[in-house]
Amino acid sequence: MEIVTVDIGGTHARFAIATATGDGRIALSDPETLHTKDHASFRTAWESFRERTGGTLPPRVAMAIAGRVNDDVIRFTNNPWIIRPALLKEKLGVEQYCIVNDFEAVAHTVARVGEDQFIHLTGPDKPLAPTGRLSVIGPGTGLGVAHLYRETDGAYRVSATEGGHIDFAPLDQIDDAILARLRKRHTRVSVERVVAGPAISDIYQTLAAMEGKPVAEEDDVAIWTRGQDGSDSLAAAAVDRFCMSLGSVAGDIALAQGGFGGVVIAGGLGYRIRETLLRSGFAERFKAKGRFRELMASIPVKLITHPQPGLFGAAAAFVREHK
């Protein structure tokens, strides 16, 4: 069975053809990545992908979207597209569809791939628990969060959440300064304002202000680049602060969800900064939960390395829904 599988985030829409076999295996074609800003709607992006693949597509589509999934109107958190599920069959010419939250899709991938698809970050160096609760977290254009429950018979359940929109809790004076800067623009500051790709600009500007260094407002990609290649010590400090905040938030999510069987960091940004995560204050902040420090230290924390967890997971969700 062939399925068009799509992973739509705030910046990119990724398309591929998934082939699902009777024994449950899923294989992906090479993905096509389109910029959401280059297309007026999901339908025009779909048509562009269809043209690139020869003019015809399978009559089945699996979609992972960065936003809440409902049956009426789907609005994305970080891009202006709108999708009306009731019109998909008519507008796209498909017979079956499945729509899941993007991190719900990632959690499906976490549930299905082998241990060789993970890098160890902190905690005991052992596999994710075969049963029980796991938390899946990923910084990108926004901050995705999902919950995975593994049952004793190999089955599993996935829940989409909006955990990226919980309140940001500062832990020191630098966090206080970051919060103060963000409060000038946002009455309520969620963790997504601090632990997502674009947040590096506010972190960098905050550190510069604390040191009395005038710096220009600039693209977050430039700051990430300098922070990673070592050419700018202030940018490097901003990246380390980002990693610390990610550790804090990942620990909070694990506590809230009961993800004591393991925590998985996902998303393209997480993978790109994997070496920095290992050297940063991520691990210490993850454990720094007061009376629960010992519990937090017992949780294996992994980084998923599957190249397309959103596309793979969307296809897995489709297969599960349309058995």
Residues tagged in the binding site annotation for ATP: 6-11
At 97, is the secondary structure helix, strand, or coil?
Answer: strand
3-state DSSP: the chain helix, strand, coil percent, rounded to 5? 45, 25, 35
**Strand-strand pairing, 82-83 and 118-122:** unpaired
Residues of the binding site: 6-11
Nearest CA to 128 out of 288, 300, 5, 269 is that of 300
Q: Which residue carries 């995705």 as its tokens?
A: 144
How many Cα neighbours within 13 Å face the side chain of 38?
A: 11
Q: Which two tokens stand for residue 245?
A: 């905040």
At 236, is the secondary structure helix, strand, or coil?
Answer: helix
Instruction: Report the alpha-carbon distance of residue 60 to residue 5 in Å, rounded.
Output: 9
| Residue 69: CB atoms within 10 Å | 17
Instruction: Report the alpha-carbon distance of residue 202 to residue 184 in Å, rounded.
Output: 12
Q: Which two tokens stand for residue 229?
A: 């290649």
Q: What angle do CA 248, 258, 196 make, to 5 degrees?
A: 35
**Strand-strand pairing, 60-65 and 96-101:** parallel
